[in-house]
């Protein structure tokens, strides 16, 4: 029989093979690290775990609930970051890990608790990327000649349908991967790039004598300080602190507009948290925001593009996590869009389609013909480049899947072997469950199938249409979920957007072409497609989430059953809270009370208009599709390239700055320090210190993400409350005898006081929690004695 070949399996070392044969190799020792992804090691550890994991892997409901609480809170944070930047990145895992390490949990306990954290964080991913498109389609931005594609949607009903359906889909997403756990993590292990860093953190948690507990507590303090500093700085940048003559401004904007002399002023270069190319100011000293094109200013290169840097800690933090290469590939899409496609569109005076007039207008005449005051480069970006970007996202995602056709051919064999249970064991007599029983999967498939039909029917959709959707969801979650997880296992990136576009395309083709037979109106067809894609996004995100938790559990001796259970428990609170925040922010975005890019949601909205009304430039869409395919072929990052093209330079440039800054810091600062430790204490100590130092920088970055999300959400809530003091005709209310209450001094102080009070209360609760855990205000010996007493 020939030797089995694998693209992932690495050759086992002689020392590792000897330790395996003698049975001396164990979790987290040097030979384990030397033989990761060999297949031989994983099969050895699987057998070892079957015998010994019951002594190590213990379920603690209290610790899991703490992990869920962290994940649920950060699901809301992730929703804000996802809508603002288009990337669903969360620091919840790091915080849960650090808290567990500070409390001296074992690696097993940390792994189980954080599996619940990741489950709660990612259960509402669909609501971040897809659901907001429903509300955007009811805005003037997407208004058609005959009105809105979706008008006055029933928010409560759609939220109920989407949240409940996403819960069941999330359960299904977790269970589906149970089929592949043994095949893709034991027999032919997927490498899951960068997972070693997570494993090293769990390793550090096992050694309380290296100062890890103290370092964890210091890191938790670091993220708290970074969060406070971020919120403080952004408060000055974003909060309307200055109210003069009925005008509300942030302090930085007020200063910028005050520092002007004649036609020159700081506001020409700074506006609403962005340092940008010179745009000029008006007679009031206000920024014109963008350099405007005219026949007289056609010589000015800034009139053809938009360059700047947004003061957003989140994008810098994301760049720090990504490092230079990935950050550059995302920026590459922005560079192509803003330094090539946008100027080309303006210079060539290409025709722009206007949905309201239902005609094409040369871009240089567009503002005159339509009365739209938007500068030409922004018109070119919104009307042409973003269409190319959508095509690139879809083309890159599809071609990324096509590239793996050999993988798809083998998937069905993997499914057959998994269902036959070759080498797998579920229940151990006298011990309990080792992994979740496969027999539950068809049962839960049937339960999900029936629940989807019931929920969507109760939501006002026809029974037959709901039935068809349920069939598509069950099949696509299984097949596309398997593909997406395989891609994530190979590249470290799960193509949620790419596969979601495929599902939306399938649903739109079915519901729009057969809407009369299915008793669907056009609006219902689009709604069902978008809500259905939302549910799919949550399901597939959960499939991708569990692979990392399962992989770490194999190397530290945890039972897969506990990982599955933790993820499943995290789905319900995560879906409710994360979806709730995402829906609230989506409504605020559609009403114009907050300014978030929401790239995927806008892309889904545009995609829906194109397919529902046939309005849109299919040539540009096709060009983007081919461009995305080429970039995917050349770099493997076609979807990220398309996402970058959908963003503007001020928002992606900080990401690149963050990526370059990390690489430079590692080269100039970290590397010499680690080399010195290695020469004095050995490579093992050096690697642990490297992980701890990196973790400290991650906490600063996480503080940036958290602080911006917290402040942004609070500002959104206050903006919503502001809107309550207006009458339906737009006039300001009289409240408690105060006319024009919303711009009065009374409301100014109530609003500011409420903002401060909210943050004091939240900060106080976090302080008390950390103090109770021994993170603040206590030494290691006292905290340890308290924990032993409680135990």
* pLDDT of res. 660: 93
Q: How many CB atoms lie within 10 A of CB 445?
A: 16
Distance CA 561, CA 425 (A): 11
Q: In this predicted structure, what is the pLDDT of residue 186?
A: 84
Q: Of 95, 41, 106, 46, nearest to 68 (Cα)?
A: 95
Residue 783's pLDDT is what?
Answer: 41
What is residue 5's predicted lDDT score, i.e. its pLDDT? 45
**761 class by beta-carbon count within 10 Å (0-12 exposed, 13-18 middle, 19+ buried):** exposed
Helix (H/G/I), strand (E/B), else coil: 192: coil
Give the pLDDT confidence of 696-718 residue by residue, as tens digits: 787 788 788 778 878 887 888 88
Compute mean pLDDT per 10 residues along the chain, 791 residues long, and list them.
Answer: 47 85 86 83 91 88 89 81 71 73 82 88 83 88 79 87 88 81 80 71 63 67 85 92 86 88 82 89 83 85 91 85 80 90 90 72 82 83 83 77 64 56 63 83 86 91 92 83 71 69 85 88 89 88 83 90 91 88 86 78 81 72 87 78 83 90 91 88 77 77 80 82 82 83 89 91 77 60 38 33
The answer to whether 687 and 376 are in contact (CB under 8 A) is: no
Alpha-carbon span 189 to 38, nearest angstrom:
7
- In order, the DSSP letters of 552-606 are HHHHHT--HHHHHHHHHHHHHHHHHHHHHHHHHHHHHHHHTSS----HHHHHHHH
At residue 777, the pLDDT reads 61
What CA–CA distances, in Å, run from 723 to 474, 623, 741?
41, 42, 11
Task: Find out whether 366 and 602 touch, Cβ atoms under 8 Å.
Answer: no
Residue 436: DSSP 8-state: -
With vertex at residue 184, the alpha carbon angle to CA 178 and CA 185, rounded to the nearest 5 degrees, is 85
DSSP string, 739-752: TTGGGSHHHHHHHH
What pLDDT shows up at residue 212?
A: 58
| pLDDT value of residue 416 | 60
Q: Which residue pairs, CB below 8 angstroms and at least 24 apart, start in 492-496?
A: 492/192, 492/193, 492/194, 492/195, 493/637, 493/640, 494/540, 494/541, 494/544, 495/397, 495/400, 495/401, 495/639, 496/88, 496/125, 496/129, 496/537, 496/540, 496/541, 496/544
Q: How many residues does the chain have?
A: 791
Residue 336, both tokens: 């192509």
**Planar angle of CA 296, 299, 302, nearest 5 degrees:** 105
Q: How far apart are CA 16 and CA 33, in angstroms?
A: 10
Residues in Cβ contact with 52 at an 8 Å cutoff, skipping those fewer than 6 apart: 557
| Cα-based distances in Å from 75 to 16, 53, 535, 599, 770 | 41, 31, 16, 19, 21
């Amino acid at each position: 029989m020939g030797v089995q070949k694998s693209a992932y399996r690495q050759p086992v070392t002689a020392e590792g093979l000897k330790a395996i044969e003698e049975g001396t190799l164990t979790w987290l020792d040097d030979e384990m690290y030397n033989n990761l992804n060999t297949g031989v090691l994983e099969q050895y550890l699987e057998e070892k775990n079957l015998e010994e994991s019951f002594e190590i892997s213990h379920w603690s409901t209290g610790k899991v609930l703490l992990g869920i609480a962290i994940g649920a809170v950060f699901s809301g944070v992730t929703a804000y970051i996802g809508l603002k930047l288009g990337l669903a990145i969360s620091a919840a895992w790091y915080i849960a890990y650090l808290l567990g390490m500070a409390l001296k949990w074992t690696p097993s306990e940390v792994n189980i608790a954080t599996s619940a954290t990741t489950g709660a964080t990612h259960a509402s991913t669909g609501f971040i990327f897809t659901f907001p498109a429903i509300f955007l389609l009811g805005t003037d931005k997407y208004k058609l000649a005959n009105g809105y594609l979706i008008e006055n949607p029933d928010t409560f009903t759609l939220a109920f349908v989407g949240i409940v359906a996403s819960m069941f889909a999330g359960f299904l997403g977790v269970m589906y991967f149970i089929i592949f756990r043994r095949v893709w993590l034991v027999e032919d292990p997927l490498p899951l790039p960068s997972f070693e860093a997570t494993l090293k953190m769990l390793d550090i948690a096992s050694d309380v004598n290296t100062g890890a507990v103290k370092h964890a507590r210091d890191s938790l303090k670091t993220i708290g300080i970074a969060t406070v500093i971020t919120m403080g700085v952004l408060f000055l940048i974003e909060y309307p602190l200055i109210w003069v003559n009925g005008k509300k401004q942030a302090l930085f904007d007020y200063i910028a507009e005050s520092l002007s002399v004649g036609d020159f002023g700081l506001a020409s270069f700074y506006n609403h948290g962005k340092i940008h190319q010179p745009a000029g100011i008006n007679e009031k000293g206000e920024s014109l925001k963008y350099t405007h094109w005219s026949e007289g200013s056609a010589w000015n290169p800034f009139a053809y593009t938009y360059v700047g840097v947004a003061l957003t800690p989140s994008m810098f933090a994301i760049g720090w996590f990504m490092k230079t290469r990935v950050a550059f590939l995302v920026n590459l899409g922005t560079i192509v869009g803003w330094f090539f496609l946008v100027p080309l569109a303006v210079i060539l005076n290409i025709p722009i389609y206007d949905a309201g007039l239902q005609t094409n207008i040369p871009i240089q005449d567009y503002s005159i013909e339509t009365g739209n005051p938007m500068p030409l480069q922004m018109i070119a970006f919104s009307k042409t480049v973003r269409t190319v970007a959508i095509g690139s996202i879809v083309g890159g995602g599809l071609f990324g899947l096509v590239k793996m056709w050999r993988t798809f051919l083998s998937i069905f064999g993997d499914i057959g072997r998994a269902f036959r249970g070759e080498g797998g064991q579920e229940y151990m007599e006298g011990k309990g469950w080792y992994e979740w029983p496969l027999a539950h999967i068809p049962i839960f498939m049937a339960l999900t199938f029936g629940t989807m039909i019931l929920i969507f029917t109760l939501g006002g959709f026809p029974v037959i249409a709901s039935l068809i959707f349920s069939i598509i969801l069950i099949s696509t979650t299984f097949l596309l979920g398997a593909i997406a997880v395989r891609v994530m296992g190979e590249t470290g990136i799960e193509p949620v957007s790419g596969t979601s576009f495929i599902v939306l395309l399938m649903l739109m083709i079915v519901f729009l072409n057969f809407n009369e037979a299915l008793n669907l109106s056009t609006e219902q067809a689009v709604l069902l497609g978008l809500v259905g894609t939302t549910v799919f996004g949550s399901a597939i995100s959960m499939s991708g989430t569990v692979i990392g938790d399962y992989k770490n559990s194999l190397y530290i001796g945890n039972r897969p059953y506990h990982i599955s259970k933790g993820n499943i428990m995290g789905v319900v609170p995560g879906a409710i809270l994360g979806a709730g925040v995402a829906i609230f922010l989506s409504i605020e975005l559609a009403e114009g009370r907050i300014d978030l890019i929401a790239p995927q949601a806008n892309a889904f909205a545009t995609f829906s208009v194109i397919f529902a009304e046939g309005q849109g430039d299919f040539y540009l869409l096709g060009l983007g599709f081919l461009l995305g395919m080429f970039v995917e072929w050349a770099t493997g990052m076609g979807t990220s390239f398309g996402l970058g093209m959908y963003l503007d330079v001020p928002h992606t440039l900080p990401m690149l700055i963050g990526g370059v800054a990390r690489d430079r810091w590692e080269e100039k600062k970290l590397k010499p320090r680690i080399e010195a430790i290695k020469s004095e204490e050995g490579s093992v100590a050096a690697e642990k210190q490297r992980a701890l130092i990196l973790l400290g920088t991650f906490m600063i970055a996480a503080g940036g993400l958290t602080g911006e999300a917290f402040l942004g959400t609070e500002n959104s809530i206050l903006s919503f409350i502001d809107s309550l003091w207006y009458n339906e005709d737009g006039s300001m209310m009289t409240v408690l005898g105060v006319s024009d209450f919303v711009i009065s001094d009374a409301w100014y102080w109530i609003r500011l006081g409420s903002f401060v009070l909210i943050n004091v209360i939240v900060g106080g609760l976090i302080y008390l929690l950390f103090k109770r855990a021994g993170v603040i205000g206590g030494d290691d010996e006292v905290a340890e004695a308290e924990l032993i007493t409680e135990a």
